[in-house]
C-alpha cells in the first residue's frame, strides 16, 4: 500500500514591523495556487498579534485556508531553514527579503539559505527609485 503524501504547505517567516501587505498576499496566493496550507513563523514580542497578522489570520479563516501560527521571540535564518528542512510537507519558504533576515543574523558570514531543501521566495517591496530634482 503506498504511503499517503503529506499535505503540502508554504512556510511564511515574518518579522513584526516588517509586514508588507504584498508579502502576505504573495504567501496567500501561493497557497491557493498550490492547494497548500500555510505555516507562519512570526518573530514578535508581546502577547498581542500585530494588526497585519491578525488581518491575515482573519482572511485565511474566511477563505478556508488551513494555517498554523507559531510566535517566536527569537527567529534566525538558520531556524527557518531548520524548520523547513525538518517538516517534509514544506514546499516553499516565503520571506520579505534576504537583507531583512541578515539584520537578525548572529553569524553574518554564514549562508544557511543555501542549505534550504525547497525553493525560497522573497517578496520584498520594490526599492524607491525617486530622483531628487535639482
- The answer to whether the CB of 39 falls within 8 A of the CB of 67 is yes
Determine the Cα–Cα distance for residues 91 and 111; give it in Å rounded to an integer: 20
| CB contact at 8 A, 24 and 52 | yes
Distances (CA, A) of 38 to 2, 10, 20, 74, 103: 25, 5, 17, 20, 25
Q: What is the pLDDT of residue 131?
A: 45
Task: Please give the domain boundaries of the chain with CATH numbers for all domains.
Answer: 9-122 (3.40.50.620)
For 72-90, write each residue's pLDDT tens digit.
Answer: 989 999 999 999 999 999 9
pLDDT band at residue 63, thresholds of 50, 70 and 90? confident
Amino acid at each position: 500500500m503506498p504511503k499517503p503524501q503529506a499535505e503540502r504547505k508554504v512556510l511564511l517567516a515574518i518579522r513584526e514591523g516588517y509586514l508588507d501587505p504584498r508579502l502576505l498576499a504573495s504567501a496567500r496566493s501561493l497557497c491557493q495556487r498550490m492547494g497548500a496550507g500555510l505555516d507562519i513563523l512570526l518573530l514578535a514580542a508581546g502577547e498581542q498579534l500585530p494588526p497585519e497578522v491578525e488581518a491575515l489570520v482573519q482572511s485565511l479563516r474566511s477563505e478556508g485556508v488551513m494555517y498554523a501560527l507559531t510566535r517566536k521571540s527569537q527567529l534566525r535564518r538558520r531556524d527557518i531553514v531548520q524548520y523547513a528542512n525538518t517538516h517534509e510537507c514544506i514546499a516553499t519558504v516565503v520571506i520579505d527579503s534576504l537583507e531583512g533576515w541578515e539584520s537578525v543574523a548572529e553569524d553574518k558570514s554564514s549562508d544557511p539559505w543555501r542549505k534550504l531543501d525547497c525553493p525560497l521566495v522573497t517578496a520584498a517591496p520594490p526599492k524607491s527609485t525617486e530622483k531628487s530634482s535639482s
